[in-house]
Chains A and B, each alone.
Chain A
Amino acid sequence: MKTQENAWLWLYKIIAGLLIVVLLGIHFIVNHLAAPGGLLTYADVIRYYQVPGIALMEIVFLVFVISHSLVGLRSILLDLHPSTSIIRAANWAFILIGSAAIAYGVWLVIVIQSKG
């Protein structure tokens, strides 16, 4: 197995990174301007998630951030020239951690939205 980053994975990291810049800007502005001083109370957050489209935007943002960060961690690992067995194990660990984090985030969004 090659211990170099696949070109498509690299391209995905770049494109996801650019999308994150845009989505983070929206996430940040909306989170901090939706209520005076930001979304700092439970009631503010619940109200925010009742706005149509917010839950979907946050889930899309979550998927890009998690995948970009884990593909990036893998790049750092690849820079250390790991053995094939280590990178194979790490691939599974990244897939498991990423899937679990996304599943947890989606569950959380559904729970928060249902409280409104």
Chain B
Amino acid sequence: MQNAPAPSRFPQWFDPRKRHPGNWAFILNRITALGLTLYLFLHLFMLGKLAQGPEAYNTFIALAKTPIVKGGELLVIAAGLIHGLNGIRIAMTSFGIGVTIQRQLFWGFMALAAVGIGIFGYVMFILD
């Protein structure tokens, strides 16, 4: 149960020492999960503006072009890529696929996430 932090060991959650890739995978999965859940509910709330008519929605959506919101969107994309790709690894190993190479799978998928984040960042902030 080394991957399951007990409340009494709460301060240790933030101790980066002596962590294995499995720990990092677990921590990244949990942190991105919390961020994405928060985003999901904000996204649903924001889409509620559609029910209020064109003016309410278009005024609100104009915010999407501000750098702060774009930065937040890139964070969401980063969290989505990390969580999604890490999730594919978890699904694979859960069904017995690539169990012996899951360390390599983790780093491979995270490298892929880093490339994806870079591409999205470039398109959103440089090209746009």
Interface pair A80/B7, CB less than 8 Å apart: yes
Q: Which of B15-23, B33-41, B96-104 contacts its partner?
A: B33-41
Closest chain B residue to A70 by CB distance? B37
Interface pair A21/B87, CB less than 8 Å apart: yes
A54 at the interface (CB under 8 A from B): no
Interface pair B53/A42, CB less than 8 Å apart: yes
Closest chain A residue to B6 by CB distance? A81
Known contacts A14-B90, A17-B91, A76-B34: A111-B50 contact under CB 8 Å? yes
Interface pair A104/B44, CB less than 8 Å apart: yes
CB neighbours (8 Å) of A80 from chain B are 5-7
Partner of A69, one of B5, B30, B37: B37
- Of the four ranges (under 10, 10 to 19, 20 to 34, 35 or more), the interface on chain A belongs to 20 to 34
> What's the nearest-Cβ distance from chain A to residue B15, in Å?
17
A112 at the interface (CB under 8 A from B): yes
Interface size on B (CB < 8 Å)?
Answer: 29
B66 at the interface (CB under 8 A from A): no
Interface pair B94/A14, CB less than 8 Å apart: yes
Interface pair A112/B37, CB less than 8 Å apart: no
> What's the nearest-Cβ distance from chain A to residue B1, in Å?
9
A40 at the interface (CB under 8 A from B): yes
Residue interface bits A66-101, CB-to-B below 8 A is 1, else 0: 100100110010011100000000000000000001
Q: Identify which of residues 1-48 in chain A touch chain B, using a CB-to-CB cut-off of 8 Å.
A: 14, 17-18, 20-21, 24, 40-43, 45
CB neighbours (8 Å) of A73 from chain B are 33-34, 37
Partner of A72, one of B37, B54, B84, B94: B37
Interface pair B64/A40, CB less than 8 Å apart: yes
CB neighbours (8 Å) of A111 from chain B are 50-51
Q: Identify which of residues 46-76 in chain B touch chain A, using a CB-to-CB cut-off of 8 Å.
A: 47-48, 50-51, 53-54, 57-58, 61, 64
A108 at the interface (CB under 8 A from B): yes
Closest chain B residue to A97 by CB distance? B41
Apart from A17-B91, A18-B88, A24-B84, list 7 A-B contacts with CB within 8 A: A20-B84, A24-B80, A41-B58, A42-B57, A45-B50, A101-B44, A112-B51
